[in-house]
Amino acid sequence: MFEMQTYALMMLGGFFLMLMIGIPVAVSIATVGFVFGWLGFGDVLFNLLPARLYGIVSGYQWMAIPLFVFMGVMLEKSRLADDLLDVMGHIAGGVKGGMAVGIVLFGVLMGATTGIVGATIITLGLLTLPTLIRRGYDKSVACGVICASGTLGQIIPPSLILILLSDIMQLSVGTLFAAAVGPGMLLAAVYIVYLLVMGWLRPASMPPIPLAERDAVSRRELWARFFKVLVPPVMLVVAVLGSIVGGIAAPTEAASMGAVGAVLITVFSGRFSWATLKATALDTSKITAIMMFILMLAQVFALSFRGLQGEALIEGLFEALPGGANLAVWFMMLIIFVLGFFIEWIEISYIAVPLFLPILINLGVDPVWLAMLVTLNLQSSFLTPPFGWALFYLKGVAPPEVNIKDIYLGVLPFIGLQFTALVLLFFYPQIALWLPKAIGW
């Protein structure tokens, strides 16, 4: 028994060592899983693995992933985001910090429609960062609000994180989608309050749009454009999420409806072409293939770690902690936060969550509430240096005068705001639980 758990510890250490020397995450997961699994219990690993992999590739629920990705990519390719962002910037731009607030609201809408962090941040970076800097915004403030707003799609349904967690935690996708509405709106509200306060305290860092520029477009015309670009995607989101949360359609059925709806929106906006459809299909295939590849290789790691009595090792660690369930939850949050510095949310979901989940459930922790804490915590993995993907996405499209230091300094307050939202959700679980209970999930 001792030897098995020694292998489990060596497996964790080997995984982080491979990450530190620059080996891709998927390769690191598979390598340590195969090596230490074989050392621990030999050929049995290879006898058990095919069934685990078949269970992944044959899972009906995974069909929702490429369909939701297709919906998001198609809406992103339709360029409706460009019009929406321009209109929202002018509507909110008269307030100090108003353009930044408009970007947060845009992040909410993009999160509910596309949910693709990279596409949202690149769109925001290309369209707003040069404009914000030209209008006098502090570079770090502009970079921070773009990165933070672009990651809101990771908690606002239909989020891919929620689909994966529903499988890991054996919960209904509809329940998690309903539960995520409160925390998602909470995080956006925390961002907005912070920006308005900072705009009041430091107006020079977030000046409003000049009056002459705002008066160049009539309010009636501005609101008419707003509803024209807002109503179609919002109706699509309401139809897709409403059918899932309301129990009318399964996630895969609703996702297929969303994919068709995204195509129709693009057609009616006059921006559909076969080239757009081809590009959307290719991007969807790439994103889905990467996710499924990591998902399958994570099974090697999970199977080996469990076979090496790693779960007993983790359970002993939790039993040694004082403070009961609350401290155990915060210990899990700390582990997830630290892992977010080095690896992506997919790997964290399939490595950390299965290790801690059985122990926390036995301690009486509500699994839906725990899933929301995990999801909110995973937001930070996109922002934390050195491997926060949001930082890389923005740097790739930022003007030359914006350096990586500006981006790093800009995201630090928003990491603190994410922690604030996490604390609020911890002490007030009903933020996440009221909607699922209200609709009878």
Per residue in 265-305, pLDDT (tens digit) is 888 877 788 888 898 889 888 878 877 787 788 778 878 87
> Which pLDDT value is given to residue 280?
87
The model's pTM is 0.79
323: pLDDT strictly greater than 70: no
Give the span between the Cα atoms of 92 and 195, in whole angstroms.
Answer: 12
How confident is the model over 358-389, as pLDDT tens digits? 888 888 889 999 999 999 998 888 888 766 77
**Mean pLDDT over each residue of the chain, to the nearest integer:** 81
Q: How many CB atoms lie within 10 A of CB 200?
A: 12
> Which pLDDT value is given to residue 116?
66
Domain that includes residue 286, residue range: 2-438
| Residue 288 structure tokens | 């889905």
Lowest mean pLDDT among 1-5, 151-155, 228-232: 1-5
How confident is the model over 82-126, as pLDDT tens digits? 666 667 666 766 677 788 888 888 788 777 776 667 667 777 777
If you average pLDDT over residues 177-204, what whole number do you get? 91
> Which pLDDT value is given to residue 206?
80
Measuring CA to CA, which residue among 182, 84, 178, 99 is closest to residue 145? 99
> Which pLDDT value is given to residue 157?
82
Q: What is the 3-state secondary structure (H, E, C) of the chain?
A: CHHHHHHHHHHHHHHHHHHHCCCCHHHHHHHHHHHHHHHHHCCHHHHHHHHHHHHHHCCHHHHHHHHHHHHHHHHHHCCHHHHHHHHHHHHHCCCCCHHHHHHHHHHHHHHHHCCCHHHHHHHHHHHHHHHHHHCCCCHHHHHHHHHHHHCHHHCCCCCHHHHHHHHHCCCCHHHHHHHHHHHHHHHHHHHHHHHHHHHHHCHHHCCCCCHHHHHCCCHHHHHHHHHHHHHHHHHHHHHHHHHHHCCCCCHHHHHHHHHHHHHHHHHHCCCCCHHHHHHHHHHHHHHHHHHHHHHHHHHHHHHHHHHCCHHHHHHHHHHCCCCHHHHHHHHHHHHHHHHCCCCCHHHHHHHHHHHHHHHHHHCCCCHHHHHHHHHHHHHHHHCCCCCCHHHHHHHHHCCCCCCHHHHHHHHHHHHHHHHHHHHHHHHCCHHHHHHHHHCCC
Could you give the number of structural domains in the chain? 1
31: pLDDT strictly greater than 70: yes
| Residue 397 structure tokens | 């499209």
Cis peptide, bond prior to residue 429, ω within 30 of zero: no
If you average pLDDT over residues 174-181, what whole number do you get? 90
- Asked whether 303 and 45 are in contact (CB, 8 A), the reply is yes
The number of angstroms, rounded, from the C-alpha of 424 to the middle of its chain's C-alpha atoms is 19
> Which pLDDT value is given to residue 215?
62
Tell me the percentage of the chain whose pLDDT exceeds 70. Answer: 87
| Residue 411 structure tokens | 């995201």
2: pLDDT strictly greater than 60: no
CA of 394: how far to CAs of 64, 113, 153, 408, 425, in Å? Answer: 28, 20, 16, 11, 29
